[in-house]
Chain A
Amino acid sequence: MIALYRKELRALWPLGLLAFVVLSGDVFERPFTERLDEKAWEDIASYVSPGDADTFGWMLILLAGFVAYAAFPREHDERTIRFLHALPIRPRAIFAAKVAAGLTVLFGACAVLMGTDGLMGSMGAETLTGGHWRARLAFTHLALQCAFCFVAYAHGLFASVLRLFGLIPYALLLVVAHVLEDVFAPAAWIDPTRLLAARYHGAALVVPWGPLAAHLAVALGVLGAAYLSWMGPADRVGRGLERARRTVVGKLALGCGTVVAVLAVLVLLVVVSEPSEEVDAPEDPSVVETPSFETRTVRTERWEVTYPVSHEARARALIDEADALHEAVRRRLGADVGPTLVADLTEVSGDHRGIASWTHVRVGLVTEPDLTRLRRVLAHETVHAFQHRLSDRRQGQHERATRFFAEGSAEYLSYEVVPGDRARDVGRLVAAGAWERHGVRFEDLVDDAHLRARYDTTLAYALGERWTAALVDACGSDAISDALRAMGREDAPRGLSPRTFWEDTLRAAGCDLERVDAAFARLMEAEVARRRARIDALPRIGGGVVGARDGRVRIVALLDRAPEPGWDFHVRLRRGPDAEDTEAFAVRGRADPDDPRRIRFEVPRALLPAARFQLLFGVRLEAHAWPWSATWQWASAP
């Protein structure tokens, strides 16, 4: 077997070279293009930096896939596997030799990567950024990478049984994992690249033991299945199937079996397409009447609206004003009428009140009994539809730079179209509080990744609304539509950083970012001065995990003042700054009867997104208004 292992290793050396070049190729570039004495280890070995490691993970998956696909398919296709079977070696020894050789190549490439990165990273000559390489940390990362390679290799070996068709089930698994992440955040660990997401307790790497054990166990099972497929009974079953296909009866049996399988899946499909009341639970179940499954579609001059028959009166009231809202938004943006918009009022979501893309909007009619707020939501989503068209969809393509403007201008215009002083006032209070208390500035707002890393992402609405007001103030009433059109111009440069994107956009719109930014700063200072007393009255909220009991993690928030009646406290949890909004979930808290300044939350341990996770305390000062939030902070599972 050792001889066979050596032979396999020799056969794999070209792939080993490829793996080395892919992972460590920068060792030929960096010393000649970068001044390594200015670099820290984590600048070079980006996988040790805290955060997700999707790109690196995918590189390893591709490499492991290449190595795995090199093991058996060709031996079988060219029938050279018969030569191996002719040797006085057991099939499992052949399999083991191939697996060992493949893993040796992958582990070796990871070890070389760690070595080259360590070498380059140890050249840093600055007192703070230098000397970051630590043997224990490096070897822990290496061990994780090797485990990850094993997992990817095992799945690759199994997929290779079906040759390229084997990629299809795995593509489906990825899609399913992505959907699961959105609807049930704790399931994010199913994505194996999460194993490489570096999280730290102090300066020590947190090893995700639970997910690691689960992935390794599955990988071992899959490796066993691959063995059975390539070397064991499944191989014989395959040959048996080939023989069966040669007879009429066999063909009939296989064909009927397949048809039955297809029918079974279609039945499943129909079953799962039935609406479920548990999905997308709204924030306040008291206002939700169960919508009927039966819907009706109504056409107006500008809309094609579908609504649940059970909420006809509410829908009709909204539909009666839909064209007027469309026209009001259109006039303010100076846009042409455009195509008919589709409005789906059957939306029931705990994530949002409305959503829009291109010519479609969805509005939560069922969860919102107040007609004024419904009109405002429809106006807000209508603005989004116009934004997509005026910017020729580029506003959505630059979402990182434009989210605050997309939401802020929609908020600004929806309040213009459907006034509501009280709700707008609370939004401005939250914006002014964030400006004053958290020091949120345009630099935070303009880069959505930066904003979501530290702050409540709903600040994009409240602060974006104020920035839009500053834009209008500095550049005129047409500035919103001018900016959108500037984004959509044919010759707009691409690949700009968020700030430069806005410099370019506003220059093309005949304005200047610094002018707008200065106006924004003045406006916010004025808002702060106007609301000084109310900002001072906003609670300072700090807290953290205090322990666990009965399978529930206990979290406590401490306030600097007693809460006022009607304040509704919540804590949001997510796995880290890279998590999407849909991956975060909120838990309501209640005041401690003995100490009202102490708000207690209980989260089922099974819902914790990871061993190290982030939490954000917040309070809704008024129902239906933006919450006032602290900033994201890290916590450890007890």
Chain B
Amino acid sequence: MPRRVGALALKELTHHGLVLLAVGAFLAFVWAMLLLGAAIGPRTITVLEAHADFVRIFLPLLGLALGRRLVVREYHGRTQRFLEALPVHRLEILVTKYGIGLALLGGVTFASLAVVGAVAALKEPVTGRWLLVILWRSEVFALALWSFFFAMGLLGRWRFPLYLGLFVLVVTLDRSTDVELARVGPFALVNETLPLERHDLPFHDLGVTLGLAAGLTAGAAALALVNEGSVAEAAAKTMSRREKAAVGVVFVAALIALDVADPRRTEAPFALEGEHVVRRPDARLAVLHHAPRHAPAAAALADVLAEDRRGLRDALGFGPLPPVHVVLRETLEPHVFERVALDDAEDGVLVRARFTDPAFDREAFRAFVLAEALDVATDGRASFEPHAWVRSGTAGWWVTRGGALPPAMAAQAASVARRRTPSWDTLARWQRTEERFGREATRAWSTAAARAAVEAVGEERWLAFARDVLEEDPPVGALAVIDARRRPVDARFEEATGLDVPAFERTWRDALRRRGIPGAYRLPRGEGFVRVEAEEGDLRVVRWGVRFARPPDDGALCALVHAAVGPFDRPIDPDETRRVEVPCAELDPAGERLVGRYGPGDRAFFAIEVGADATGAPIRLFSERRTIGGPR
């Protein structure tokens, strides 16, 4: 047998020798390039990384190409029949091909480590044991790699779907399970520790990989030998392009299905931990403070929030509202509330506020918390622009019902009313209104609108409208889109309240006129401006300021809020904005300068805000998006 195998091996080497020599020559060039990369790479730890890169990138490619050359071509061209006609056993043919491939991959792996190791030894304390550890890992990986490609080569036309199937499997394992592929068997052998581990052999991973290689080899042998090799021969017929495309389509469909099903691991729900947490389990509410002295304020807030949630939930006919986690953040301004984005898998709302401050606007915060909970409860549909004012208005009305609008909220609404006539359009174009007047003012504006509607038609009709718009289980996909087009919010409003839009606008205007604007006389009046001026060359300066018709409160701050915006307009997250504050009394009449922040080709958002005691939050006098002009 050895003689016959030797003769077969010689035949294979003669047949493929030139290609293999050419590949060998090119691999020398590959090593040179990898070594050069390792030598000049700014984050190289050891030159041996060049070997690791070779094993991870080039060895699989080489295995793939060798598999095709040694196995696929033979079976596809039916030339194995000539070999089978010779007085050699089929197993001997198989052993020869397997042996040659393994020797080549193993030899190349060894050569890679020898070349790279020799260069590394010039500068690094490379030891024999270290190289031996790397060699073992690399060679066993090469063995598994060749066993895999050898077996796949015998699968002929089924290689392509199997490769794709394995890809889907790997994606699924990675996304849907806690399996870390980089720590499993062959992958673990070539992970980031390959060039760095100097002492310990990963016996477990070596064992798993050897087992895998043995399994693959046995599978390949079975394929090639069973039924006199007819299985491998039948599989060798080339797959037509149509079949390949069908496989590809199935593969893409599987990926889409995986994406839609989203079988991600479920995480533990978000929870606030520690001794300083006030909990209201029946309302799914927790308030975190940081010291015993804050406990009374936290408990009082928890009680009122729990009451709000229970009441609105029942009024809207919702099931349990998503959990709310409130965190004391003493560094925030009293009128600023933060919502922290949680993962999709984490149910609930996490908000921060400085609720221990005497100036804390509790009603505005209650409305904020309710609105955010409604957002989550409706799967985000309540934040869809035409619905957003109903969400905010309902939350604001709920916490202020039975009394007058709190002064700060009233003043914020008044600051809008001074520049906009109450109209449906200002509510429906929520994103624009919010950008123009700021978040707090727009929330107050929607609250005033909702209160006016309730006053006109009664609570029941408003709630019927809110229930219709703020659905707990909104339709998905195209159904929601069709539903929103078929029954726009103004039609729903008229249907539920019996009040048409012009009548509602009149009612709202009358309500504002009847009550007057509390504290309006204390609001600053003026016009903000922003100009972009040319400086040296292409340099640009933003000049901003306010021309006051009525001076602001003593010590009030004037601010330029600005942000770079991309080529496509989107609502601007307050976290993305920057703020330059100057005491209003010290404003340069010619305008303050923001130098060189934006240049030609930039798009930027600018807003001018003025602080006012009456409103708590600053009043926005001006806002615009602008493209900074200049040469391209």
Contacts and interface: CB of A to CB of B under 8 A. Distances in A.
Contacts of A77: 73, 76-77
Interface string A149-171: 00000000000000111011101
A439 B561 CA distance: 13
Nearest to B255: A25
A3 interface: no
A52 B385 CA distance: 30
A262 interface: yes
B536 A546 contact: yes
A29 B115 contact: no
B599 A544 contact: yes
A368 interface: no
B539 A359 contact: no
Contact of A497 (B125, B260, B343): B343
Interface string A244-285: 010000000011001001100110110011011001100000
A634 B41 contact: no
Contacts of A268: 32
A77 B77 CA distance: 8
A273 B245 contact: no
Q: For chain A, which range describes its interface: under 10, 10 to 19, 20 to 34, or 35 or more residues? A: 35 or more
A178 B479 CA distance: 46
Nearest to B433: A127
Contacts of A524: 331
B451 to A, nearest CB: 24
Contact of B603 (A32, A202, A273): A202
Contacts of B567: 50, 200, 202-205
Contact of B192 (A29, A32, A358): A358
B582 interface: no
Interface string B253-292: 1001001100011011011111000000000000010100
Nearest to A540: B595
Interface stretch (B20-28, B369-377, B499-507): B20-28
Interface in B1-33: 17-19, 21-26, 28-33
A635 B599 contact: yes
A35 B384 CA distance: 10
B58 A168 contact: yes
A340 to B, nearest CB: 8
By DSSP majority rule, is chain A's interface helix, strand, loop, or mixed? mixed
Contact of A40 (B175, B476, B570, B597): B570
A36 interface: yes
B180 interface: yes
B566 A633 contact: no
B600 interface: yes
B18 A342 contact: no
B480 interface: yes
B290 A515 contact: yes
6 nearest CB pairs, A to B: A546-B537, A14-B245, A542-B596, A542-B595, A164-B65, A179-B37
15 contacts: A32-B477, A35-B474, A126-B384, A127-B429, A265-B28, A266-B28, A273-B119, A306-B125, A344-B46, A491-B178, A493-B178, A515-B273, A521-B330, A542-B597, A543-B595
Interface of A: 11-12, 14-15, 17-18, 21-22, 25-26, 28-38, 40-42, 48-50, 70, 74, 77-78, 123, 125-129, 132, 163-165, 167-169, 171-172, 175-176, 178-179, 182-183, 200-205, 241, 245, 254-255, 258, 261-262, 265-266, 268-269, 272-273, 275-276, 279-280, 293, 295, 297, 304, 306, 339-340, 342, 344, 346, 349-352, 355-360, 362, 393, 396-397, 438-439, 441, 443, 491, 493-497, 499-500, 503-504, 507, 511-512, 514-515, 518, 521-522, 524-525, 542-547, 554, 556-558, 560, 582, 612, 631, 633-636, 638
Given A11-B241, A21-B253, A34-B477, 12 more contacts: A14-B242, A33-B476, A33-B477, A37-B480, A125-B386, A128-B571, A167-B65, A176-B37, A359-B196, A633-B598, A635-B601, A638-B537
